[in-house]
Amino acid sequence: MQLHEHLYALGQRLGRDVFDDADGFRGALDDFLDEDAASTGEINLLVDAVRLGALRSMVTTLDSGGDVLRAVEEAAARLARDRGSADLDGARWALAALGYGLGRVSDPDVQRYRSAAAPDADASSPAVPPTVLPTVLPPPSPGPQGWTPPTAQAGPGPQAPQPQPQPQPQPVYSPAQQWGPPPTPGTGTPHAGPRRRSRALPILAAVLAVVLVAGGITAAVVLTGGDDEPSVDPTGESTPVNDDSSPPPSTPTTPETSADPTASGAVNQRYTGLADLVTTGTSRCQEGDPTSGETERLECVIDAGLLQLVTYDSQADLEAARKRAVTLTAGGRLEETDAGTFFAYEETDDDDNPLQAYLYWDDVDSLQSGRYDATAGTDLDELVTVFESTDPSRAYPEKPSSQELLDFASQWFLTSKCERIQTLVDQELEENYCDVNGPVEVYLGRFGSRKDFRDYRRIALGYAKTDDRMLRTWNQQEGDPPIGALYEYTTDSGSAVRYWDLPGCFCYAEAYLSSGSYDRLENWWYTG
């Protein structure tokens, strides 16, 4: 029996009102379910859906004739936000499972969300390993060794890399793959911005090489006595140096060995478009098999995971690879410029343990990209630390970057108090957390399209309608841009919330006041 079927049986035995009170529901689950029927994370998620009002919101939508899937999606978005998590798939599954327990959601719809949720969404089903990245074993000698590819599985995460046979005795990470992913706000310490790029090392290396070559030529001339001087053998007879008839030397000369293109110094020189010291953390990279549109692929094992470096045939090939790496599902941090793109993604479980993390950046001029993939259990902060130590060409985004978003927010508070976070909402281009004034906290974000912007506005409108709040507007302008929306609602934890937006830039803000009245929040909104 699957977990949602247990919930239906629980409602039959104890009555459907068992889903009304979070504490009573938790006690009923502990008494009713076997130990192996659900994990602690699943139970916490289900109970939070009741405690934070997400289930009540979904039922209200259904009672008013709303579509089942739309009701689940909107309630799940609210649940994820109130929990401070971007695990939307898990939230959707939880709401669908509870809806099944109430007899309001069908089994196929529960299965739809269960297949996209975390692998432990139903402990009674055969266990499926989570989508995690390979485990890196410390190499016994310089060079990448011990990379164990993960097992591929279906789900919303990235395509898992597949192993391919190699002539080397140790397995390598297969380059023929499609990268893609997904989030909680960064909980680690703030990251220092990357240092200004320095070209001193490449220039110094070039000068040193010239000096060494010149010194070698001078030494050769001195030792041979000059090109035009004859050599003298032990018999006292002279022999021209360039005489083709002279016998070969008794000891054959060894031809000069060419430089190793996978050594750190050589790789650093070729990939200065990405970073000055891109191989920081590894002594040697390994050549991979370039896929279509690639001229070179290198794989470098580091303590935190795997670094892949790629050079492309054309800008179109680079942009195609970028689309596979950059996803706008919740959990990402994106920065786009004409020179190149930066994107970092992190996914955690219900207990904020890292499930997946990767960091991608590229450079248009050099037609190159780099990508760090974390080993299992390694979080994004560790990847960022390695990334910043390479003196990269792209900066890790710490602050709001959209000028339109900054202009919008500056009407109420100082944007210097805002910090970028991993996005909590699907299709967001960026999201920021702003600790602006006393007890007021603001989430500030923007979307890339009018449709995504309006979809999120409808979620906030639904909260306000559920709480019987007045729907208002601000920025009373006619024509384009349209009038901004202004809604209020209360979370089940007691926080008063004010939502407002600006359609012209697809920007929105939500101010939370953990304790206090709507009047206090309104006064802050008008005074800034």
Tell me: the pLDDT tens digits for 503-518? Answer: 989 999 999 998 878 9
| pLDDT confidence tier of residue 160, bands split at 50, 70 and 90 | very low
CB 502 within 8 A of CB 484: yes
pLDDT at residue 120 tops 90: no
Average pLDDT of span 158-183? 38
pLDDT at residue 486 tops 80: yes
pLDDT of 158 reads 42
Considering only 123-127, 206-210, 452-456, 471-475, which range has the smallest mean pLDDT? 123-127
pLDDT at residue 114 tops 60: yes
Task: State what percent of residues in the chain have pLDDT above 90.
Answer: 44
For 402, the token pair is 């959209």
pLDDT of 179 reads 34
Average pLDDT of span 59-71? 89
pLDDT of 358 reads 97
pLDDT at residue 198 tops 60: no
What are the E-state strand segments in 230-340? 231-232, 238-239, 286-287, 294-302, 305-312, 332-336
Q: What is the dihedral of CA 454, 456, 458, 460, to 10 degrees?
A: -140
Residue 266 exposed, middle or buried by CB count within 10 Å (0-12, 13-18, 19+): middle
Give the DSSP letter string of 61-113.
HHHTT--HHHHHHHHHHHHHHHHT---HHHHHHHHHHHHHHTT-S-HHHHHHH
Average pLDDT of span 125-149? 37
The residue with greater pLDDT, 21 or 391, is 391
| pLDDT confidence tier of residue 27, bands split at 50, 70 and 90 | confident
Phi, psi for 113 (deg, rounded to 5): -80, -30
Tell me what the pLDDT averaged over the chain comes to.
77
pLDDT at residue 126 tops 60: no
Average pLDDT of span 140-149? 38
Average pLDDT of span 426-442? 92
| pLDDT confidence tier of residue 325, bands split at 50, 70 and 90 | very high
| pLDDT confidence tier of residue 521, bands split at 50, 70 and 90 | very high
Could you tell me the domains of the chain? Answer: 3-121 (no CATH), 129-150+170-217+261-397 (no CATH), 403-527 (3.40.1000)
Question: What's the Cα-to-Cα distance from 226 to each of 63, 140, 216, 234, 235, rounded to whole Å?
Answer: 100, 49, 14, 20, 21
**DSSP state, 277?**
T
Average pLDDT of span 459-480? 81
User: What is the chain's Cα-based Rg?
Assistant: 30
pLDDT at residue 201 tops 70: no
pLDDT of 478 reads 57
Q: Of the candidates 427, 426, 333, which has an alpha carbon nearest to the alpha carbon of residue 380?
A: 333
Task: State what percent of residues in the chain have pLDDT above 70.
Answer: 71
Considering only 53-62, 232-241, 289-298, which range has the smallest mean pLDDT? 232-241
The residue with greater pLDDT, 166 or 279, is 279
pLDDT at residue 248 tops 70: no
Average pLDDT of span 22-49? 84
pLDDT at residue 159 tops 60: no
pLDDT digits (tens, 9 = 90+) for 333-387: 999 999 999 999 999 888 888 899 999 999 999 999 999 999 988 999 999 999 9
| pLDDT confidence tier of residue 481, bands split at 50, 70 and 90 | low
pLDDT of 28 reads 78
| pLDDT confidence tier of residue 225, bands split at 50, 70 and 90 | very low
pLDDT digits (tens, 9 = 90+) for 284-319: 899 999 999 999 999 999 989 999 999 999 999 999
| pLDDT confidence tier of residue 421, bands split at 50, 70 and 90 | very high
| pLDDT confidence tier of residue 479, bands split at 50, 70 and 90 | low
pLDDT of 23 reads 79
